[in-house]
Chains A and B, each alone.
Chain A
Amino acid sequence: MTDASETAIIAPEKIEAPQRSNFSKGLRRLLRHPSGQVGGVVILFLVLCTIGGQAILPYDPLDIDPIKRLRPPSAEHWFGTDELGRDLFSRILYGSRYTLMIGLVSTSIAAAGGIVLGLLAGGGGKLADMVIMRFVDVLLAFPYILLLLAVIAILGPSLWTAMIAVGVGGIPGYARLVRGEVLALREAEYVEAMRALGGGHLRILFGTILPNILSPLVIFASFTIPLTVLAAAALSFLGLGAQPPLPEWGSMLVDARTFLRTAWWVVAAPGVAIFISILGMNLFGNALRDVLDPKGQR
């Protein structure tokens, strides 16, 4: 017992107030931010719905019941039922997993592609820069939807190809962002110092420069995730994304649009779900930017 008290006296630095790591400091700021709270709740809800799976649903989202078709919202069916008598509430909850998946997968593809291209363009010499950035320009010159359609035309329509297409469509933005940041950081003294310490070209690009541009990347990603969700919903709406009977919100909108005049809830349910999740993600992105942007910190 006396041992413990002795060591405490010998090593005063050990009894100092525990230092919070940068991560937990950032998290606390994020949770205190009003739009971070709202956005966080929405995203948390989507995540919980995804984890919960079928167990939390009142009905099977694929269960057809022709007798109950197009029922308005009631205590029994909170969001009403669609033209095949499927419970909309269950379908919306179940659909949240596709929204999350699209956001994450598409953004990962876009970010991975864009980061590699951007790093190579920014740090790989004039020729690489020229070739890569012209390729990016070509991607940008295509009308966005047309680009997605081209990718889907090659790969065939499905939820996965929609995600890949949306991801490819997002590459130019990331590539440009990363290239710009690399150009700004390339002349930084610590990059020069790393070179003097024997850092090779790729090591400097990926090991020294990349960690320094993560925060603008995270902010950028938080704003492009909702865009990818919207784009994938648009593809589904065109019949080129998720295929029925998958309860993906975009494809639910397509099936529902014929009933816009007679059964508003069939359209409103997925529409409002898309609206709220996009809003939540954007709000969260806003908060993330405030937290991660060094200029906004006090």
Chain B
Amino acid sequence: MTALLEIKNLQTEFKTEDGIVRAVDDVTLSVRAGEVLGLVGESGSGKTVTALSILRLIEKPGAIVGGSIRFDGRDVLALAEKDLTELRGDRISMIFQQPKVCLNPVLTVGQQIAEVFLRHRSMEKKDALDQSVELLRSVGIPSPETKVSAYPHELSGGQAQRVMIAIALALTPRILIADEPTTALDVTIQAQIIELLRKLCETTDTALIIVTHDLGVIAEIADRVAVMYAGQIVEEASVEELFDTPQHPYTVGLMQSMPTLGDRRQRLNMIPGSVPRPFHMPVGCRFSPRCRARVEHGLEKCLTDPPALTGETRKLRCWLEGKE
């Protein structure tokens, strides 16, 4: 099966006063139709910038400086601004972390959903509003007939995210990019939203790229996972493989730092150190200064030579591969 979205060697940079920060460095990813891809990593690992790059939503001083993004056979990086706006919200949609601030405070929920139809489908305003009610019903908003004329401040966080999902899925896009869709929500609501996303994407055969730092969310929804560290993908595998046999020391560290129920040790496992600062990237493997496995195996190579991402379906960026 050919990939719906193919990202090859993507490089996105930001110009700052201190120099150039390469937030995304050599990211290669592909998404098939209907697939759920998880993009995991901690703050500053470049996962959000990767997501924004797909829609070319990177604004100055940032810029995509290398690589290619192909969606449905089209070169996204070569599209004219006009074709790009045709693509956004129609074929590829996106939802964000803070649902409440992503809704325009002065327009009603219905107007904002209808806007998508008016923008992309040149529909009659009344039909668009009728459609909005149906969409609100499909995302599980109670009494959609009245909520359609509610303003964003009258919604709870969970409801606002449901509205965002309704807007994003209004035109049944091929790909939905969800950037930390549950981070700002209550834990009880998180599961509902995740379930809703999975159900809706399944019924419409929409591919879902879910960006998160929450491995629990990934375990619940993703088919395939890419782990990002310091702007690079360090490991990519199916969700079962990744959770059963994590191979990259960073992934292992991430898994171990999750608290497990019934296991009340004094402290949670931590990965020592912190994410390298953009101007002081390690010469070799970017994780090497924090890597316990490297010390255990006594590998010197990690400090001097950057490892490449290798493997076919299961990819790994580590010199330790096969050493265990």
Contact = CB atoms under 8 A, between A and B. Distances in A.
A198 B85 contact: yes
Contact of A189 (B101, B107, B115, B146): B101
A156 interface: no
Contacts of B168: 197
Contacts of A13: 143, 146
Contacts of B181: none
Q: Tell me if B's interface is mostly helix, strand, loop or mixed.
A: mixed
| 7 shortest interchain CB distances as A-B pairs | A197-B89, A198-B89, A198-B88, A196-B94, A193-B102, A189-B101, A211-B106
Interface of B: 55, 57, 82, 85-90, 93-96, 98, 101-107, 115-116, 119-120, 143, 146, 151, 164, 167-168
Given A192-B102, A193-B95, A198-B116, 12 more contacts: A22-B151, A189-B96, A189-B98, A189-B102, A195-B57, A195-B88, A196-B55, A196-B88, A196-B94, A198-B120, A199-B119, A200-B85
A86 to B, nearest CB: 49
A194 interface: yes
Nearest to A189: B101
Interface residues of A, number: 20
A208 interface: yes
A155 interface: no
A197 B146 contact: no
Contact of B105 (A190, A194, A197, A198): A190
Given A13-B146, A189-B96, A203-B119, A196 B57 contact: yes
26 contacts: A13-B143, A189-B96, A189-B98, A189-B101, A189-B102, A190-B104, A193-B94, A193-B103, A193-B164, A194-B104, A196-B89, A197-B88, A197-B89, A197-B115, A197-B167, A197-B168, A198-B86, A198-B87, A198-B90, A198-B120, A199-B85, A199-B89, A200-B82, A211-B106, A211-B107, A212-B105
A198 B55 CA distance: 10
A13 B148 CA distance: 14
A208 B112 CA distance: 10
Contacts of A193: 94-96, 102-103, 164
A4 B190 CA distance: 41
A211 to B, nearest CB: 5
A189 B55 CA distance: 16
A199 B84 CA distance: 10
Contacts of B90: 198
A188 B103 CA distance: 10
Contacts of B102: 189-190, 192-193
B112 to A, nearest CB: 9
Given A197-B167, A198-B119, A211-B106, A188 B101 contact: yes
A41 interface: no
A150 B94 CA distance: 52
A190 B167 contact: no
A207 B151 CA distance: 16
A214 interface: yes
Contacts of A194: 104
A200 B85 CA distance: 6
A193 B82 CA distance: 17
B272 to A, nearest CB: 34
A195 B56 CA distance: 10
A208 B105 CA distance: 10
A208 B57 contact: no
B72 to A, nearest CB: 16
Interface string A182-218: 0000001110111111111001000110011010000
